[in-house]
A and B are shown apart, each in its own frame.
Chain A
Amino acid sequence: MADVKLNHIKKSYGKVDVLHGIDLDIKHGEFVVLVGASGCGKSTLLRLIAGLEEITAGELIIDNKVVNHLDPARRGIAMVFQSYALYPHMSVFKNMAFGLKIAGQGKRAIREKVEEAARILQIDHLLDRLPRELSGGQRQRVAIGRAIVRDPNVFLFDEPLSNLDAALRVQTRVEIGKLHKDLGATIIYVTHDQVEAMTLGDKIVVMNAGRIEQCGSPLELYRYPQTQFVAGFIGSPKMNFIQGTVDQVATEYLALTLKDGAQVKAYVDTSEVQKGQQVTVGIRPEHLFEGRDLASSLTGEVKLVEHLGEVTYIYMNLADGTEVVVRGEGESEIRVGDKLEASFAPESVHVFNMNGKAMPKVRRSTEIPVDNPAIMTASQA
């Protein structure tokens, strides 16, 4: 089976270190998403796995073989590029067949494989066209088809949806998800879009500045971010961060005073916290609710209201000027200039120390329901 194992992979360009020792285990059939801001090294890591760049140090193992010095083609990988990289002078059929022809396969075998892949991707009517006669979405399918026909151990996707328009991106995303289920192949997928990461990945690897920040299932990352970076990266809109001070350290919770004076409780591991310590408090917009139904609350002046139909994003400034986003109800009638009190449950509060490291949240047998404030108030009562 095609497990992929990265042992302390490093990459430097001259004196500049781009990757500082990446360790990662990818099991056969897993859909792993590498995600991070641009320049964090995620694409470089993918190119190292593909064999398009040389690994400076460390070991890359695919299918129980060290492949550091193998050519891309002999690693059993296929890559889909952001820019599609179709051969412009060849028809769709030839584009997909080229690799097989080079590998010396018979004409009939090639035709069968290409037609099979084209059928899966619903591009069988386009086989005679040239890439320039196709739309962006069709080109991307051809690029994926070219990867499929090679029957690789590992698929590598480098931001495959970035060049598509919004509607097509959603559609193609769904199709890639289905494709993964149908093929059961190992996929390593690079993106900077956290929605793609959350929806597609079995496992998400959040990278920052050449290091793995955190690695886990989408919900694991969403619920228990280990660093402030991950907390800010996963979730949309981004988590609100508010400066605060520790007032009281209990065994089960912390009592904090936020910069604007609000009193907050947080259920986190308190073993490494001292009274008086400066911390950053994080609360997701979807855990803030209009009104004062929940235990703690923030008050501010509304600066901007975005009506999206099913939700309303309310941007408000706290007394000290910190901007906070609240996910309000779809039909909220709040207006710019209004005073808003947004309340939240202490279970939904994240606390980070000044180095950006999270204080582990206390795990509960039943997870916090995020969408129903009524249940939360009930459980607190």
Chain B
Amino acid sequence: MLAKQAIAAPAQSWKTAFLNPGLLKKASVHTILIVYTVIALFPILVILVNAFKTRKAIFNDPLAFPDASSFTLVGFTEVLERSTFDVFFFNSLIVTLLSLFFVLLFGAMAAWALTEYKFRGNLFIAILFAMGIMIPIRLGTVSILQLMVDLHLVNTLTALVLVYIAQGLPLAVYILSEFIRTIPKELKEAARCDNVSEYKIFFQIVLPLIRPALATVAVFTMIPIWNDLWFPLILAPGESTQTITLGVQQFIGQFVTDWNAVLSSLTLAIVPVLILYLIFSRQLIKGLTAGAVK
């Protein structure tokens, strides 16, 4: 009796699934998304899985999960015992957080100024930012390097922070402008009637309202900075200023590569971005302006 029901029920649900185009559409959308997620996560999974395996096991069966015989933490001990690793880690974190902070602050301020105030050169500056989105900053590497040499900033984290702010600003300004434009005009006018200064309007009314947009921009900005190898290699390759992506390279030799150490350090490098992402994604709540007007 029970078995009969169990057989009958799925048959029925399949029938309704095919008869119901909405459900079918949903299912196909989810299938595509799941396939994409698997493809995107696969390399990360390989890194994670192999970071905990012996060198031999990595090469014998790269896709196998670690078991009792192949499990090892040798990679992690090696990475953590080389005293410089924490320096790399700290460098990356400092550079990313500082750049992120200034990109968000200056980006939001510029976006507010460009959308809210009419002034001479407004359009020109907006166009400059738009060009910044279109032209990759790496094209200017040579002149950036020259500039940093002239400013005696080579091999400092300041050089990286400055470059990353420049790199992140255009897109930040672009996205935030769009969001700031959606803030009802009456809110700012109500604040002006309340004798709220323009700075306070920006910090206490506009910024809280574009929090979801700030979180989006933060995620967009943070990941390329954390993952960047190009500018650390060129502007700050010194022992004390290496970032983690650059630091990992020391395990990759021309003839011998310490795969355990490489995979372990990459695994460790995922953690901070993941934490930052979780923090920001909590801010991505829709409908924050609900209730302001109408």
Q: List 18 A-B contacts (CB under 8 A).
A: A51-B192, A72-B192, A72-B193, A73-B192, A73-B195, A78-B193, A85-B293, A86-B293, A87-B292, A88-B289, A89-B208, A98-B196, A102-B200, A130-B291, A132-B291, A139-B291, A150-B194, A163-B294
A81 contacts chain B at the CB level, 8 A cutoff? yes
Q: Are B195 and A74 in contact (CB under 8 A)?
A: yes
Q: Contacts A72-B192, A73-B194 known; A83 to B289 CB distance under 8 Å?
A: no
A313 contacts chain B at the CB level, 8 A cutoff? no
Q: List chain B residues, Cβ under 8 A from A150.
A: 194
A339-B291 Cα distance, complex, nearest whole Å: 53
Q: How far is the CB of B10 from chain A (nearest CB, A)?
A: 42
B209 contacts chain A at the CB level, 8 A cutoff? yes
Chain B 222-240 against A: per-residue CB contact (8 Å), 1 yes, 0 no? Answer: 0000000000000000000
Please, which residue of chain B has its CB at the minimum distance from the CB of A82?
A: B186
Q: Are B189 and A86 in contact (CB under 8 A)?
A: no
Q: Are A85 and B192 in contact (CB under 8 A)?
A: no
Q: Are B186 and A71 in contact (CB under 8 A)?
A: no
B187 contacts chain A at the CB level, 8 A cutoff? yes
Q: Are A81 and B186 in contact (CB under 8 A)?
A: yes
Q: List chain B residues, Cβ under 8 A from A74.
A: 195
B87 contacts chain A at the CB level, 8 A cutoff? no
B190 contacts chain A at the CB level, 8 A cutoff? yes
Looking at the complex, which one of B193, B205, B288 makes contact with A79 (CB distance below 8 Å)?
Answer: B193
Q: Are B288 and A83 in contact (CB under 8 A)?
A: no
Chain A 103-134 against B: per-residue CB contact (8 Å), 1 yes, 0 no? Answer: 10000000000000000000000000011111
Q: How far is the CB of B204 from chain A (nearest CB, A)?
A: 8
Q: Are A99 and B196 in contact (CB under 8 A)?
A: yes
A87-B186 Cα distance, complex, nearest whole Å: 10
A50-B197 Cα distance, complex, nearest whole Å: 16
Interchain pairs with CB closer than 8 A, number: 89
Q: List chain A residues, Cβ under 8 A from B293.
A: 81, 83-86
Q: List chain B residues, Cβ under 8 A from A77.
A: 193
B3 contacts chain A at the CB level, 8 A cutoff? no
Interface residue total, chain B, C-beta cutoff 8 A: 24
Q: How far is the CB of B8 from chain A (nearest CB, A)?
A: 46
Q: Are B195 and A79 in contact (CB under 8 A)?
A: no
B272 contacts chain A at the CB level, 8 A cutoff? no
Residues in A50-80 with C-beta less than 8 Å from chain B: 50-52, 71-74, 77-79
Q: How far is the CB of B84 from chain A (nearest CB, A)?
A: 44
Q: List chain B residues, Cβ under 8 A from A82.
A: 186
Chain A 122-163 against B: per-residue CB contact (8 Å), 1 yes, 0 no? Answer: 000000001111101001000000100010000000000001
Q: List chain A residues, Cβ under 8 A from B292.
A: 83-88, 131
A88-B190 Cα distance, complex, nearest whole Å: 12
Q: List chain B residues, Cβ under 8 A from A86.
A: 190, 291-293
Q: Are B184 and A85 in contact (CB under 8 A)?
A: yes
Q: How far is the CB of A370 from chain B (nearest CB, A)?
A: 39
A183-B287 Cα distance, complex, nearest whole Å: 36
- In addition to A88-B289, A88-B291, A132-B287, 8 A-B residue pairs with Cβ atoms within 8 Å of each other are A72-B195, A79-B189, A83-B292, A85-B190, A87-B190, A99-B193, A99-B194, A136-B294
A215-B195 Cα distance, complex, nearest whole Å: 32
Q: Are B189 and A52 in contact (CB under 8 A)?
A: yes
Q: List chain A residues, Cβ under 8 A from B294.
A: 83-84, 136, 163
Q: List chain B residues, Cβ under 8 A from A78.
A: 193
A72-B294 Cα distance, complex, nearest whole Å: 24
Q: How far is the CB of B41 from chain A (nearest CB, A)?
A: 35
Please, which residue of chain B has its CB at the minimum distance from the CB of A98?
A: B194
Q: List chain A residues, Cβ under 8 A from B208.
A: 89
A379-B275 Cα distance, complex, nearest whole Å: 89
Q: Are A99 and B189 in contact (CB under 8 A)?
A: no
Q: Are B291 and A85 in contact (CB under 8 A)?
A: no
Q: Are B290 and A88 in contact (CB under 8 A)?
A: yes
Q: How far is the CB of A373 from chain B (nearest CB, A)?
A: 46
Looking at the complex, which one of A99, A132, A134 makes contact with B195 (CB distance below 8 Å)?
Answer: A99
A102-B193 Cα distance, complex, nearest whole Å: 11
Q: List chain A residues, Cβ under 8 A from B195.
A: 71-74, 99, 102-103
Q: How far is the CB of A195 from chain B (nearest CB, A)?
A: 22
A79-B190 Cα distance, complex, nearest whole Å: 7
Q: Which of A73, A81, A87, A150 has the most CB of B within 10 A?
A: A87
Chain B 197-231 against A: per-residue CB contact (8 Å), 1 yes, 0 no? Answer: 10010000100110000000000000000000000
Q: Are B196 and A81 in contact (CB under 8 A)?
A: no
A139-B190 Cα distance, complex, nearest whole Å: 14
Q: How far is the CB of B141 from chain A (nearest CB, A)?
A: 42
Q: List chain A residues, Cβ under 8 A from B287.
A: 132
A134-B289 Cα distance, complex, nearest whole Å: 13
Q: How far is the CB of A271 from chain B (nearest CB, A)?
A: 49
Q: Are A88 and B288 in contact (CB under 8 A)?
A: yes
Chain B 162-189 against A: per-residue CB contact (8 Å), 1 yes, 0 no? Answer: 0000000000000000000000101101
Q: Are B186 and A132 in contact (CB under 8 A)?
A: no
Q: List chain A residues, Cβ under 8 A from B205.
A: 87
Q: Are A133 and B192 in contact (CB under 8 A)?
A: no
Q: Are B291 and A50 in contact (CB under 8 A)?
A: no
Q: List chain B residues, Cβ under 8 A from A136.
A: 294
A131-B287 Cα distance, complex, nearest whole Å: 12
A133-B291 Cα distance, complex, nearest whole Å: 7
Please, which residue of chain A has its CB at the minimum distance from the CB of B187?
A: A85
A287-B191 Cα distance, complex, nearest whole Å: 48
Please, which residue of chain B has its CB at the minimum distance from the CB of A72?
A: B193
Please, which residue of chain A has its CB at the minimum distance from the CB of B208?
A: A89
Q: Are B196 and A102 in contact (CB under 8 A)?
A: yes
Q: Are B290 and A132 in contact (CB under 8 A)?
A: yes
Q: List chain B residues, Cβ under 8 A from A81.
A: 186, 189-190, 293
Please, which residue of chain A has its CB at the minimum distance from the CB of B200?
A: A102
Please, which residue of chain A has its CB at the minimum distance from the CB of B186?
A: A85
Looking at the complex, which one of B192, B209, B289, B290 makes contact with A71 (CB distance below 8 Å)?
Answer: B192
Q: Which of B187, B189, B194, B288 has the most CB of A within 10 A?
A: B194
